[in-house]
Chains A and B, each alone.
Chain A
Amino acid sequence: MLVLTYLWIIPLLPLLGAAANGIFGRGWNKGIVSAVALSSTTLAFIATVELVREFMALPADQIPWTRAYFPWISAGGFRADFALRVDQLTVIMLLVVTGVGWLIHIYSTGYMHDDPGYYRFFAYLNLFMFFMLLLVLAANYLVMFVGWEGVGLCSYLLIGFFFLKQSATNAGNKAFWVNRIGDFGFILGVLLIFRTFGTLDFATVLPKAAAMPVEPVGQSGVLTTIALLLFVGAAGKSAQLPLYVWLPDAMEGPTPVSALIHAATMVTAGVYMVARSHVIFLNAPFAMQVVAFVGCVTALFAATIGLVQTDIKKVLAYSTVSQLGYMFLACGVGAFGAGVFHLMTHAFFKGLLFLAAGSVIHAMGGEQDMRKMGGLRKKIPWTFWTMFMGTLAIAGIPGFSGFFSKDEILLATQRANTPLWILGVLTAGLTSFYMFRLLFLTFFGEQRFDEHHVHVHESPRSMVIPLVVLAILAVGGGWMAAPLLWGKANYFAEYLSPVFVANQEAPAAAAESAGGAGLLQALLGAPVIAGLVGLFLAWWFYIRSPETPKKLAVSLAALYKLLSGKYFIDELYAAVIVRPLVWISDRILWHVVDEGVIDGTVNGVARVSRESGDRLRHASTGNIRTYAAWILIGVVVFTSLLLWMVS
């Protein structure tokens, strides 16, 4: 019961690592810095494993396990404790965050080895782990919000890690600003929760929300408003339309950061928050529809952009946006367990893909353009095979983890909403296409770089081992749901079912329908066919006849331009929001309000007092008789005034 009693140990360990490296790291050599960073994350992972062991032994009536450590804010009727909570959902998230985070820390010791900001990188990375663990362990919305903002801060710091590069600084700023919009929605939602329920504790809010009547579409009430506001926050953090624009730019950060923060953990915080608040969403069907629609459209939209990107990390970034869309689609159709399942498998395979991409970039000496790669399969076999596993997983090839989670989502969507299901299947095909395109362009075909300039080499062991571990997880991570295929219960969904108690019939129904349909249909279901078609098309385009993509780009020039221009969303935002804002700030707020009104007032006060002082100082002669005369005149004036008033 040690870790369960002192839950704060888990987030504290990375915080200590961050503090040690942040304060003393500058003077330490790289060995000590990595030892501190790795030991703190390793211990956090061990503590989590111990927590899981203790949690397994808990009787069911003690779950969710909540511990309030000290009253944090107490003002009037408002009270918030520093309280942490563990339930099945937390356990999954903790394992993903500490497990994948630990692997990525190991990888980073190899990847960042020659960087002068080595200690700074690990201080930020550990700090991120602290805030992320706080976010998932929180027992009320306020502690969650602290973690939420903290991971945003670390994301900003790490995107702008190469701060001498203007583009990296801009990308960091963009991420921060776009997240402000989402976070504003989130905090409004939290305030509305407090106004409605009088507390922010999950343990009180969620049952109360569950007890409230369902608000039919068209008669939206407070729950719908709360749900939509929370979803604005989730859309900002998890890069959904229309707030996804920061994530592709966030690839300016070092690749391990893209893997940890912008693929595996932080960006899934929105999904986690929606799943945590699912009872509010379930009683607000309109909000559910919005979530499903936004998620599905984002999935398709980002996948189409991913088709034509040439930067290896940009493809993965749009893929992440797309996969997050799948998770929200799952939440929107009520399959929260499937959403969290996809969150987990995505953390495995997308973390793997990013790390493998980092290994490719490392091998190519910093080159990220896939058009300048090719034929790397033989030169970096470990990277190739692990990335191949990740690609199979994300493409939903049967047997790999992505297959189970994506199929579960699409199965739930099929029952809930057919048009969204069609879009989801289409996205599955596109996903498979762009991922195999990436794989073929990078590892197959002829070398499109000059071998005299680029010394291609396999990455060091510290980078390869995390790749292998993640590859194993990406392949096998989905088998918890495998019994679904032969009509048995889905272990993962069953494990989470106490958390999503309000929605218990969904996984059961899924098991039933899958069981009825049998193994064959699941294997040959539409998403799998779409994935195989995508694979075939990618093979045809990039291996069989490599001229076809160029011809297509010419014959469909308008479409190609639209996609490679990313639908010109950035340009649209620049024209509609950024430039008017800059204009107003510059012309009105700066030159009129600031210079005219504010500076004018301050300077005016100063000028009035200076000039009046300049005049009045002549009255002060320094001659004592003048002062006496003034006193005399004053006495005479006041005395006569007094006499006049009395009479």
Chain B
Amino acid sequence: MQGVLDAVGPESPGGVVVPTSYYLVLSAVLFGLGVVAFVFKRNIITIFMSIELMLNAVNLAFVAFSRALGQLQGQVFVFFVIVVAAAEAAVGLAIIIVIARNRGTLDVERVDSLKH
């Protein structure tokens, strides 16, 4: 375990080290884009993609912290998130196909029958 951490340690000799805050800013920007797209876009597939974007922004933050703190758990989490995201993609896309077949549209404004 210690060996793995050493190999990717922050003080790799002979290279420029990118500061952790850069990764975090990028992660925040990606997450914000995902949120904005989720709220404002109408197409269900776009909304679905924005969810993926948010998940990956979180993944990036996990990895960045994992490296900065020298702990492996963050990376393990990322694997879980990727697996869940894959499963979610499979289920979600299936639902989207059913919606498209039944309603002939992918406009989320018109998929509000939960209320009624």
Contact = CB atoms under 8 A, between A and B. Distances in A.
B115 A621 contact: yes
Contact of B115 (A620, A625, A628, A629): A620
Contacts of B38: 625, 628
Contacts of A621: 112, 115
A632 interface: yes
Nearest to A625: B39
Given A623-B108, A623-B109, A628 B116 contact: no
Interface residues of B, number: 13
A621 B108 CA distance: 12
A637 to B, nearest CB: 15
A625 B116 contact: no
B108 A632 contact: no
A202 B52 CA distance: 84
Interface string A617-630: 00011111100110
A622 B111 CA distance: 8
A632 B112 contact: no
Contacts of B47: 624-625
Contacts of B40: 625
A624 B115 contact: no
Contacts of B111: 624
B108 A625 contact: yes
Interface in A593-647: 620-625, 628-629, 632
Contacts of B116: 622
A204 to B, nearest CB: 72
A633 B111 CA distance: 22
Contacts of B113: 622
Contacts of A623: 108-109, 112
A224 to B, nearest CB: 75
B114 interface: yes
A629 B39 contact: yes
B32 to A, nearest CB: 10
B35 interface: yes
Nearest to A635: B35
Given A623-B109, A624-B108, A632 B115 contact: no
A504 to B, nearest CB: 90
Nearest to B35: A632
A622 B115 contact: yes
A623 B116 CA distance: 11
A620 B116 CA distance: 10
B35 to A, nearest CB: 6
B77 to A, nearest CB: 20
Interface in A279-297: none
B84 to A, nearest CB: 19
Interface string B84-116: 000000000000000000000000110111111
A623 B114 CA distance: 8
A622 B114 contact: yes
Contacts of A628: 38-39
Contacts of B114: 622
Contacts of A625: 38-40, 47, 108-109
Contacts of B35: 632
A624 B108 CA distance: 7
A623 B109 CA distance: 6
Contacts of B109: 623, 625
B7 to A, nearest CB: 36
A620 B112 CA distance: 10
A115 B63 CA distance: 95
A569 B26 CA distance: 98
A625 B35 CA distance: 10
A468 B91 CA distance: 96
Contacts of A629: 39
Nearest to A622: B115
A622 B112 contact: yes
A624 B115 CA distance: 10
A632 B32 CA distance: 11
Contacts of A632: 35, 39
Interface in B12-40: 35, 38-40
Nearest to B41: A625
Interface in B46-90: 47
A613 to B, nearest CB: 14
Contacts of B39: 625, 628-629, 632
Nearest to A627: B114
Contacts of A622: 112-116
Nearest to B40: A625
Contacts of B112: 621-624
B100 to A, nearest CB: 16
A628 B109 CA distance: 13
A106 B35 CA distance: 93
A632 B114 CA distance: 20
Contacts of B115: 620-622
A436 to B, nearest CB: 90
Nearest to B114: A622
B92 to A, nearest CB: 13
Interface of B: 35, 38-40, 47, 108-109, 111-116
9 contacts: A622-B113, A622-B116, A623-B108, A623-B109, A624-B47, A625-B38, A625-B47, A625-B109, A629-B39
Closest 4 CB pairs of A and B: A622-B115, A622-B112, A623-B112, A622-B114
Given A622-B113, A624-B47, A628-B38, 10 more contacts: A620-B115, A622-B112, A622-B115, A622-B116, A623-B108, A624-B111, A625-B38, A625-B40, A625-B109, A632-B39
Interface of A: 620-625, 628-629, 632
